[in-house]
C-alpha cells in the first residue's frame, strides 16, 4: 500500500493538532496515508475532541490523510511505519502529585530528571516496554519515536530491556536553544549550528557556529550580559550568574538551572506553587482552555494559543524527524539514541542526546569525543540516576527506587529520599502494579 | 651512608609524636638514620616543642635516630629517601575560615571535598608543587608521601602539573573503615580484607572478605541494624538510613555522609558551630591541650590523648607504608596513586584511592574494573571538582575557581558559589598570591 | 577578495587535469578565483606542461579561474583557502625502489601500508610538516587536504606532531568500493550507502544499504559468487576465497588482499615485476604517455586516458570534498580525520578513515562503535605501524624505523626487516636527511 | 573434613610426578588430604603407571596424602577444593597432526597460538566447558586451574561461555623468563621482579626490576649482546636480531619468535621435522622414556629427566599458586584471568596474562595501563584469533573456524587457510563432534 502509516499513542494529547499541521504542511514529500490516534479509555473524550479537529484540519487542507481514532492499540499498530508515543500515565493529576509531594519535603519535583521524573519513569516505562513488545509482533520494522518524558530514561529502558534498536527519544529543548541563540545573535536560525551533547534535559551546546565560524565565546559573552533568551516557556528566565557562565564556557540548557541554581529554583517553585499552583496545575488550566477551543466545530487549523504550551515545536520537530528518515535527508538533528562511542565517558550501550545525521537507516550519532571535565560529573550523575531508575521500573524493586531517589542531585538526604519515595509509591500505587508487593 | 633519611615537612604538627613512635617501633626493620622535622617560621615554637619531645622519645627508646629540626626546607631535602608532607598553609585559623564562611551561606565547609577543601587546595597546591621542584633538584629518587588534605586534589595536582611519579597520597579513612568492619564482625582486623575503590574521602568498600570469604552482604546487614561503628571521630555517627545502605549494597566511607545526608549534616554543623565552634575550633583547643602535654619535660612517649584527634593512625599507617616500600613487603594498602586503568570510568592519568600492592618500586594499583553504576556519578563529580580546582590553584584563575565551587555537590547555586568564593578569596588573600591580580 | 584561492602542491602531477576539470564543472557553486600549481625544481617541466593544459581548459570552458604556476611554495600559500598536497618526494624513481628492494627479499613492497609505504612516509612526512609550519604562518585558517600516500600515516603525523586541526586525508578507495557495490547490485550509486570504518587502505564496509535497507548479506553473497568487481585498477582482481568472505561478513577493501592473501599477492608481484616491471614502472610508462598527450596544444579537456590511472576519481572526489566544506553541504563522505571516539578501539587522537558529515566547520566523524572482533587485530597492527613509522620519520630514529618495519604484517622476520631497512635507507638517503647521522 | 581435596584431570600425564612432589614438599603448609588423578579410558595405562609412582612417592615421603585413581570424573569432582586440568584430547597423536598438516602447506603448526593451537582449542574447549558444568553441580566453590593449552583461548572460553569466575589459566613461560633474566644478570631469582603483561604465549616483560631498581635497559642490552638464555627448551634459541630487541625496548617471550621471526622459525621447523620429526614426535619419544622410568617399582621420587620436558616447572609453579590461594599469601604471580581493566586496550571481559596478587579470594590483576604502541597490534591480533576460535569451538561453526584460521598471523592467505582447515577438520573429526554436520 502506498503512503505512510503513522500511529500516535496518546493521540488525545493537546499537542496533536501541531502534529497534524506538520503532516499537512509536508504532505507532498511525506505522504501520510493514515494517521491513527490511539488513547486509553480515560482519555477517550479528549481523543474524540482532538480527533474531530484533526479531521476538520485535513479536510480544510485538502490532503487525503485518513484520520483514525481508536482505543485498541494493537489494532492500530498493525503494519505501522512510524509509532510516536506521547502518553501520560495517570494523566495530569499524576504529574501534580509528582511536583507537589517533593515540594512538601522542600525538594523540587522536576518531572523529568528529578524525584517527579523518577515516578513518571516508574509509571511510564512498563507501558512503553509493552508497546515495544506489541511492535515486535505487529510492526517490527517501524520506528518508535518517543516524546514521552522522561525521554532519556525511557530511551535508556528501551535500549537496555528490549531488543528494539529502531527507537528515538525526542525533545524540543535543543530546538529552543538554537532559536534562542539565533535570536541573541540576530541571525537566521538556518545559519546557526550547535554541537549538542549530553543527556535529555541535561544537554550542552559545546560549540556554536554561524556560517561555519565558531562563535561560542561571543554567545557566552552575550549570555552573560543580558537576560539569556535561551529558555523554555515552562522554566523561569532567572538569569545565570554571569561569571559562572563564563567559567563554564559552554551553553547550558534551561533544565541545567535545576542543578546549578537549585536553591533559587526551589524558592521560586515554592512561591509559584503557593500563588498559581505547580506547573502541572497551570498546564491543566491551559489544557482545559485549549480543549475548549478544540471543541469549536468551526476551528479547522492549529490554534495559535497552542504555542504557549511548554512543548512548543515538539510535534513540528517530530514531523521533521520523520520526514528526514523517510526521505533520507541526512540533515543533523539532536536526538536521544544509543551512544555507540559518540560521548567518551558514557557507556556505548546507554542513551545520549547528541547531534545525529538522520538517514533512512536511522540517526547516526556524530562523535564528539569527551565532554568538558567540569560537566562530566553532573552528566554521569543523571545517567546513573536514569539507569538505576529504569532498572527499578522494570523490576519493581523498592531498594533500587530508593537508590535512584537518593542519588538524584536534587534530593538532599537519604532520609528525605525515603520519605518522598514512600509517600509517592502510595499516592501512585494504581499506576505502579510492579511495586504492588511492596506498597501493600 | 647506611640507614634511611626521612624528611617531614610540617614537622611541628601535633601528629609527629605518632610518627616518631612508629619509626621507633619498626627500627629493626626500618633503620631510620635521620628524621628531619621542617616547619615554617610561624610554626617554629610548635616545632621546638614537638622536636624536643621527639628527642626524648628516641633517647628513652634507645634507638639511634637522629632528630633534626630546621626551618630550611632545602637543607633538609638533600639526599632524602622519603619526604612526608603534613602542612597546613595558614594554620588552623585558615581552616576555621574554611568552615565558617560557607556556613554563613548555609553551606557545609568540609575542609577536603567541599568549599573549604577548595580553599585548602588553593593554598596548599602551590606549596606542594614547590616542594616537588625542590625534590627534583635535591632528592629526585625520594618518595613523596603526602598526608596533607585535600589529599586527592593534591595528588591529582602533582600527577598533572609535575613530572614526579614517586608520589603517594595517604589517608586514614580506609584504615578506620577496616577497623570498624572488624569490630562490627567481631573478628581480628588481620582477617578482614576490603576492596577499596574511589577517590580520597570518597572511597567505597565494594567487597568485604573475612578469611577469603565474601561477607559483604552480612556487613551491610549489620550496618543497617545498628549504629555503624564505621566512622571517624571527627564525623558524627548519625547513622545511615537503613534501606539506603541496603540499596547501595556497598560500604560508603564516613565522608559520604556529607553527600548522601547533606541536609542532616548541615543542620548538625550549624548547631555544633553555635555550641562548640566549628570542628577547626574544637581541634584548635585539642591541639593546645596536646601541646601543653608535649611541653612536659618528663614526657618521653606519645601521649594516649593523641588518639582522640581525628587523624588517629595516620602516622602509624604512614610508617607502615614506608616500611612496605623500603622492605618490598608487597602487602595490600589503599593509597592515592595514578589510576592507570584500575578504575574504569576515571581517566588513566588521574589520582584515585584504591588498593595497591606496595613494592619497592612503589604502589601498583589492583584492577577493580568499574564502580557500581549508582556511585559513578558522585565519584565523577568529585573528580571533576578536584581537577578543575587543581587547575585553578596552579593558574590562579578566578573563573576556574568559581567553576570548581559551583560544581561541588555541596554548593546549592551559582550565586551562592560566587558569594562564598569572593568572601573566601578576600579572607585568605595572604596565602593566595596566585590570585593577587583578582582580589586586589 | 571574493572567490576561493586554492593551492595545489605537487601541481605538476598527471592528476591535475582532473582537478581542473572538477573545479570547472562546479564553478557556479564553487567559485575558484585562483588555482596555484606549485612544484619543486625537479618537477618544473611537468608543471609547465600541466599548467599550460590547465590554462587551455579554463579558457575553453570560459570560467575566470586564474591558473598560477610557481616553484615558490611560500608565495603560493599566502591567504590560501584550501591547500591540496599530491607530492611525490623522490618522484616515481623512488617508488620503483620502494617496490623493488623489498621484492629482492621476497617481501611485497606495498607503497602505502607495507615496507615501501614506510619509506614513502619517511620521505614525505617531514615535507608535509614543513608545509604545515608554512601554513600556520601564511594561511592559518586554510584547510589542508592531503592526497599524498601513505595518507593515513601522513594524517597521523600531522595530528600528532603539529597543532593543525584543519587537516583531512583523502583517498579514492571507498569511492571505488561504492562504485563496485553499485555495479554488483545493478543499482545507481546514489542509492547505495556504505558504513566505512577503519584506516586508510585498511577500511571496511561494515554495512551496505540500498535506499535505507541493509543489504550487506546480499552483497557478501554476490562477492562470493563471482569476480568481485570491487577492486582498484592497480590491484589484481584475484578473487577472494568465497568461504572467507562469508566468514568475514563485511566488505574488505582491495588493499586487504595484501594481508589476507599475502602469499598469492607476492607470487603475482614477483611474476609481474619480471614481466612488466613493478607497478611503479608501469605507472611511469602510463605517465609518460599522458604527458605526451598533455603537450598537445590542441588538447583543452581532461583526456579520457587519465581514468585508467590508479587514482581515478581522486581529484574529482577531492573537488567534491572542497565543495561540501565551502557550501556546508553536510553530505556523508569517508575521509581520514582525528578519531574522536568514532571507532572504539582506536585512540581518540589517532587518524582513522571513517564516514563523516562534511560541514563548513570541517568533517565530523560518525560514531561507529567498535569494529568486528575478527578485524580489530589487523587494524590495530597497521595503526601501530603508522604511529611508530610517523615517530621514526619525525625523529630520524633508526631503531623506530626498524621497529615499524618488523611489526609490519608483510615482513616475515626481524632479520629480513633489518636487511630491507638498511638497503632502503642507503638507496633513499638523499631524501632522508633526518637519518643522515645513521646512514653515513 | 580437614585437609584439601585436589582433582587432577588428565592425571595420567607425565607431568604428574612433579605435581606430587610439589604437594609433598609443601605438605606442612598445604595439607592435601586427597589427590584424585582422573583420566579417560584411552589413558588408563598411563594413569595406572603414574598413579603407582605417586603412591610410592607419598609413602616414601611419609605424608598422608591419599592418592586416588579413577576414570569417573564426576565421582572425583565431588566436593573438590581445587581442580587442575592437564588434558590432551586426542593424545599426542593429535598434536602430531596439529603440527604436520600445516607444515605440508608451508605453515608453522604452533600448538598454542597457531593453526595447530586452533585445532587443539576446537578439541579441548568443549571438554573443559563440560568440566565446568560438572563443577557447578559437584564443587561450585572449587577453583579451576587450567594448564591445558591453548591456555589463553581456554580461559577466554570459560569466561565467555560459562558463569564460572573461579578459573585461572596457568603457564610456565613467565617463570622461565624470570629464571632466564636472573641468570643473565647473575642474581638470585628472588631479587628479580618483572612486570608481565599480554596474553598467554604472547606475554611481554615490560619492566624488569632487581631489588626495586628498574634494570630493563640493562637486560635489553644483555639480550642483544649474547645468546639470550631466555627461552624454553622446546623453542630453539635462535637469537634475536640485536637491533630489533633494542628497538622493541621490552622483553619478548620465547613464543614471540614465531611472530617476529616467522620465516626463520618455519625454515627450522621444516628442517627439524625432516630430521627428528615434529616437536610432538620428539615429545612422544621423551614421554615413552619417562614412562619406562616411571614403571620402575624402585622409583619413588620425581626422576630428574622430567625437567628436560618443555613444561618444566609447570606443576611446581601450579602448586605454588594453590599454596598462595589456600594460605592467602598475596604474592605476585603472572596468570591468565579476566582482564578487568588491567590492560587498557583489551576488553574487560577477556582473558589476559598479567601479574596478579594471589589472595584467598583469587588472583587480583595489577593495573598496567596500556601496552607499548608497537606491540598492541600483535597482541590484539592474537586476542581476536582466540575469541573467534573460542566461538567456533563452542558453536561448531565452519565459517568462524575459517575466519580464525585466516586471521592468524602465521597463515599467509585465505586459500591456504581453507586447505589447512579442511584437511584438519577431516583428520581430527573423531574429536570434533560439534563440526559433524560440516565434515560429513
Give the confidence band of D440 by pLDDT, cuts at 50, 70, 90. Answer: very low
CA gap C213, C390 in Å, rounded: 40
Are residues C28 and C125 part of one domain? yes
DSSP assignment string, C321-377: HHHHHHTT---EEEEEEE-TTSBTTS-TTSEEEEEEEEETTEEEEBP-B---HHHHH
A366: DSSP letter: B
Average pLDDT over residues B209-213: 91
Q: What is residue B250's three-state secondary structure?
A: coil
Handedness of CA D372, D373, D375, D377 (dihedral sign): positive
Kindly report which listed range (A113-127, A193-207, D279-293) carries the lowest average pLDDT score. D279-293
Give the confidence band of A317 by pLDDT, cuts at 50, 70, 90. Answer: confident
Average pLDDT over residues C58-62: 97
Residues of B in contact with D209 (CB under 8 A): 360-361
CA gap D357, A331 in Å, rounded: 53
Of B383, B407, B418, the CB nearest to A243: B418
Q: Do C366 and A367 touch (CB under 8 A)?
A: yes
Residue A322 included in any domain: no
CB-CB neighbours of B254 under 10 Å:
21
Q: Do D348 and B348 touch (CB under 8 A)?
A: no
pLDDT at B1: 60
- Known catalytic residues of B are 255
Q: Which residues of D touch B (CB under 8 A)?
A: 193, 207, 209, 211-214, 328, 330-332, 339-344, 348, 355, 357, 359-361, 364-370
pLDDT at C229: 53
Q: Do C414 and D382 touch (CB under 8 A)?
A: no
Are residues C38 and C179 part of one domain? no
Chains near B, with 3+ CB pairs < 8 A? A, D
pLDDT at B276: 84
Residue A120 included in any domain: yes
Are residues C412 and C309 part of one domain? yes
Give the confidence band of C232 by pLDDT, cuts at 50, 70, 90. Answer: very low
pLDDT tens per residue across span A8-27: 999 999 999 999 999 999 99
Task: Please name the residue of chain B whose CA is at the shortest distance from the CA of residue D354.
Answer: B367
Give the confidence band of C234 by pLDDT, cuts at 50, 70, 90. Answer: very low
**Is the pLDDT score of A241 beyond 90?**
no
User: In this structure, are residues B365 and B339 in contact, taking their beta carbons and an 8 Å threshold?
Assistant: yes
Residue C372 included in any domain: no
pLDDT at D296: 94
Give the confidence band of A279 by pLDDT, cuts at 50, 70, 90. Answer: confident
Q: Do A264 and B382 touch (CB under 8 A)?
A: no
Are residues C91 and C13 part of one domain? yes
Are residues C297 and C227 part of one domain? no
Residue-number span of the structural domain to which C221 is assigned:
173-253
Give the confidence band of A291 by pLDDT, cuts at 50, 70, 90. Answer: very high
Q: Do C244 and D384 touch (CB under 8 A)?
A: no
Residue A327 included in any domain: no
| Residue tagged active-site, from D15, D161, D255, D326 | D255
Do chains B and A touch, with touching meaning 3 or more CB–CB pairs less than 8 Å apart?
A: yes
Do chains B and C touch, with touching meaning 3 or more CB–CB pairs less than 8 Å apart?
A: no
Q: Which residues of D touch C (CB under 8 A)?
A: 240-241, 243-244, 246-248, 260-264, 345, 373-378, 380-385, 387-388, 398-400, 402-404, 406-407, 409, 412-418
Percent of chain B with pLDDT over 90: 82
pLDDT tens per residue across span A42-100: 999 999 999 999 999 999 999 999 999 999 999 999 999 999 999 999 988 999 999 99
pTM of the model: 0.94
Cell of A119: 515516578
Q: What is the CATH number of the domain that holds D42?
A: 3.40.50.720
Which of D244, D423, D430, D318 shows the shortest CA–CA distance to D86?
D318
Residues of D in contact with B334 (CB under 8 A): none
Give the confidence band of A232 by pLDDT, cuts at 50, 70, 90. Answer: very low
Chains near C, with 3+ CB pairs < 8 A? A, D
Residue A357 included in any domain: no
Which of C421, C275, C235, C106 shows the shortest CA–CA distance to D106?
C106
Cell of D235: 623453542
* CB-count burial class (<10 Å; 0-12, 13-18, 19+) for C438: middle
User: In this structure, are residues A11 and A69 in contact, taking their beta carbons and an 8 Å threshold?
Assistant: yes
Give the confidence band of B37 by pLDDT, cuts at 50, 70, 90. Answer: very high
Cell of D290: 619417562
Q: Do B415 and A378 touch (CB under 8 A)?
A: no
Residue B266 included in any domain: no
Using alpha carbons, list the distances in angstroms from residue B293 to B53, B61, B85, B87.
10, 19, 24, 21
Annotated binding site of C for substrate: 95, 149
Give the confidence band of A239 by pLDDT, cuts at 50, 70, 90. Answer: confident
- Which of B244, B252, B345, B416 should be substituted to probe chain A, the one whose Cβ sees the most A Cβ atoms within 10 Å? B244
Are residues C401 and C325 part of one domain? yes
Q: Which residues of C touch A (CB under 8 A)?
A: 193, 207, 209, 211-214, 328, 330-332, 339-344, 348, 355, 357, 359-361, 364-370
Torsion of CA D193, D194, D196, D202, to 10 degrees: -130
Q: Do D413 and C377 touch (CB under 8 A)?
A: no
CA gap A84, A328 in Å, rounded: 19
Q: How many CA atoms lie within 13 A of C81 on its CB side?
A: 17
User: In this structure, are residues B332 and B366 in contact, taking their beta carbons and an 8 Å threshold?
Assistant: yes
- Known catalytic residues of A are 255
CA gap B310, B201 in Å, rounded: 13
Are residues C417 and C304 part of one domain? yes
Task: Please name the residue of chain D whose CA is at the shortest distance from the CA of residue C266.
Answer: D412
Kindly report which listed range (A124-133, C218-227, D99-108, D139-148) carries the lowest average pLDDT score. C218-227
Are residues C334 and C301 part of one domain? yes
Q: What is residue C14's three-state secondary structure?
A: coil
Using alpha carbons, list the distances in angstroms from residue D397 to B119, C146, C242, D111, D123.
63, 43, 16, 20, 13
**Alpha-carbon gap: D137 to the closest alpha carbon of chain C (Å):** 33
Are residues C121 and C218 part of one domain? no
CA gap D311, D16 in Å, rounded: 11
Using alpha carbons, list the distances in angstroms from residue D44 to A396, B414, D49, D69.
56, 78, 9, 9
Which domain-ending residue is among C253, C288, C319? C253
Residue that is written with C-alpha cell 612508629 in the block = B22
Q: Do C373 and D382 touch (CB under 8 A)?
A: no
**Is the pLDDT score of A415 beyond 80?**
yes
* CB-count burial class (<10 Å; 0-12, 13-18, 19+) for B116: buried
Residue B363 included in any domain: no
Residues of D in contact with B359 (CB under 8 A): 193, 212, 332
Average pLDDT over residues B127-154: 97
**Alpha-carbon gap: C14 to the closest alpha carbon of chain A (Å):** 33
Average pLDDT over residues B319-344: 95
ipTM of the complex: 0.94
Which domain-ending residue is among C253, C282, C312? C253
pLDDT at C306: 80
Of D331, D361, D369, the CB nearest to B330: D331
Are residues C209 and C165 part of one domain? no
Of A343, A344, A360, the CB nearest to C211: A360
Task: Please name the residue of chain C whose CA is at the shortest distance from the CA of residue A357.
Answer: C357
**Alpha-carbon gap: C381 to the closest alpha carbon of chain D (Å):** 4
Task: Please name the residue of chain A whose CA is at the shortest distance from the CA of residue B381.
Answer: A377
**Is the pLDDT score of A235 beyond 60?**
no
Q: Do B211 and D369 touch (CB under 8 A)?
A: no
pLDDT at B230: 54
Pairing of β A351-359 and β A332-338: antiparallel
User: Does A149 appear as a known binding residue?
Assistant: yes
C106: DSSP letter: T
In total, how many domains does chain A have? Answer: 1
pLDDT at C304: 83
Q: Do A330 and C328 touch (CB under 8 A)?
A: no
pLDDT at D412: 95
Q: Do D388 and C376 touch (CB under 8 A)?
A: no
pLDDT at A233: 45
pLDDT tens per residue across span C289-335: 999 999 999 999 988 888 776 666 777 888 999 999 999 999 999 99
Q: Do D359 and B212 touch (CB under 8 A)?
A: yes
Using alpha carbons, list the distances in angstroms from residue B118 to B102, B390, C193.
11, 9, 52
Are residues C299 and C203 part of one domain? no
Residues of B in contact with A405 (CB under 8 A): none
Residue A14 included in any domain: yes
pLDDT tens per residue across span C380-416: 999 999 999 999 999 999 999 999 999 999 999 999 9
Q: Do D343 and B341 touch (CB under 8 A)?
A: yes
pLDDT at C381: 97
Task: Please name the residue of chain A whose CA is at the shortest distance from the CA of residue C368.
Answer: A340
Q: Which residues of B touch D (CB under 8 A)?
A: 193, 207, 209, 211-214, 328, 330-332, 339-344, 348, 355, 357, 359-361, 364-370
A146 vs B237, higher pLDDT: A146
Residue that is written with C-alpha cell 576519481 in the block = C313
Chains near D, with 3+ CB pairs < 8 A? B, C
Residues of A in contact with B380 (CB under 8 A): 345, 376-377, 380-381
User: In this structure, are residues B378 and B408 in contact, taking their beta carbons and an 8 Å threshold?
Assistant: no
Which domain-ending residue is among C253, C287, C309? C253
Which of D23, D19, D1 shows the shortest CA–CA distance to D9?
D19
Amino acid at each position: 500500500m502506498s503512503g505512510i502509516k503513522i500511529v500516535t499513542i496518546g493521540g488525545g494529547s493537546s499537542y496533536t493538532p501541531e502534529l497534524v499541521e506538520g503532516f499537512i504542511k509536508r504532505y507532498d514529500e511525506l505522504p501520510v496515508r493514515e494517521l491513527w490516534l490511539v488513547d486509553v479509555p480515560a482519555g477517550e473524550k479528549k481523543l474524540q475532541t482532538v480527533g474531530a479537529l484533526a479531521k476538520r484540519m485535513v479536510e480544510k487542507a485538502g490532503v487525503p490523510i485518513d484520520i483514525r481514532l481508536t482505543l485498541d492499540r494493537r489494532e492500530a499498530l498493525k503494519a505501522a511505519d512510524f509509532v510516536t508515543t506521547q502518553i501520560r500515565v495517570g494523566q495530569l493529576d499524576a504529574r501534580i502529585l509528582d511536583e507537589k509531594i517533593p515540594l512538601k519535603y522542600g525538594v523540587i519535583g522536576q518531572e523529568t530528571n528529578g524525584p517527579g521524573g523518577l515516578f513518571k519513569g516508574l509509571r511510564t516505562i512498563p507501558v512503553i516496554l509493552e508497546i515495544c513488545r506489541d511492535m515486535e509482533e505487529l510492526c517490527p520494522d517501524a520506528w518508535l519515536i518517543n516524546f514521552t518524558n522522561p525521554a532519556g530514561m525511557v530511551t535508556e529502558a528501551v535500549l537496555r530491556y528490549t531488543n528494539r534498536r529502531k527507537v528515538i527519544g525526542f525533545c524540543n529543548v535543543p530546538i529552543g536553544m538554537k532559536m534562542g541563540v539565533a535570536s541573541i545573535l540576530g541571525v537566521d536560525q538556518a545559519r546557526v549550528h550547535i554541537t549538542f551533547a549530553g543527556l535529555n534535559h541535561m544537554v550542552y551546546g559545546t560549540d556554536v557556529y554561524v556560517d561555519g565560524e565558531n562563535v561560542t565565546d561571543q554567545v557566552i559573552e552575550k549570555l552573560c550580559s543580558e537576560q539569556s533568551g535561551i529558555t523554555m516557556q515552562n522554566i523561569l528566565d532567572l538569569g545565570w550568574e554571569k561569571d559562572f557562565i563564563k567559567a563554564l564556557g559552554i551553553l547550558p540548557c534551561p533544565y541545567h538551572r535545576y542543578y546549578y541554581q537549585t536553591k533559587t529554583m526551589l524558592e521560586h517553585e515554592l512561591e509559584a506553587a503557593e500563588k498559581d499552583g505547580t506547573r502541572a496545575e497551570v498546564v491543566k488550566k491551559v489544557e482545559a482552555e485549549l480543549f475548549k477551543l478544540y471543541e469549536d466545530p468551526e476551528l479547522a487549523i492549529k490554534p495559535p494559543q497552542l504555542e504557549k504550551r511548554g512543548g512548543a515545536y515538539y510535534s513540528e520537530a517530530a514531523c521533521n524527524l520523520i520526514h528526514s528518515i523517510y526521505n533520507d535527508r541526512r540533515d543533523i538533528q539532536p536526538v536521544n539514541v544509543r551512544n555507540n562511542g559518540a560521548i567518551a565517558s558514557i557507556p556505548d550501550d546507554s542513551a545520549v542526546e547528541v547531534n545525529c545525521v538522520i538517514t533512512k537507516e536511522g540517526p547516526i550519532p556524530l562523535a564528539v569525543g569527551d565532554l568538558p571535565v567540569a560537566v562530566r560529573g553532573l552528566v554521569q550523575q543523571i545517567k546513573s540516576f536514569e539507569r538505576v531508575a529504569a532498572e527499578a521500573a522494570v523490576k519493581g524493586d523498592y531498594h533500587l527506587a530508593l537508590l535512584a531517589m537518593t542519588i538524584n542531585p536534587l534530593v538532599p538526604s537519604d532520609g528525605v529520599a525515603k520519605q518522598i519515595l514512600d509517600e509517592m509509591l502510595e499516592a501512585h500505587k494504581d499506576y505502579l502494579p510492579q511495586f504492588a508487593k511492596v506498597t501493600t
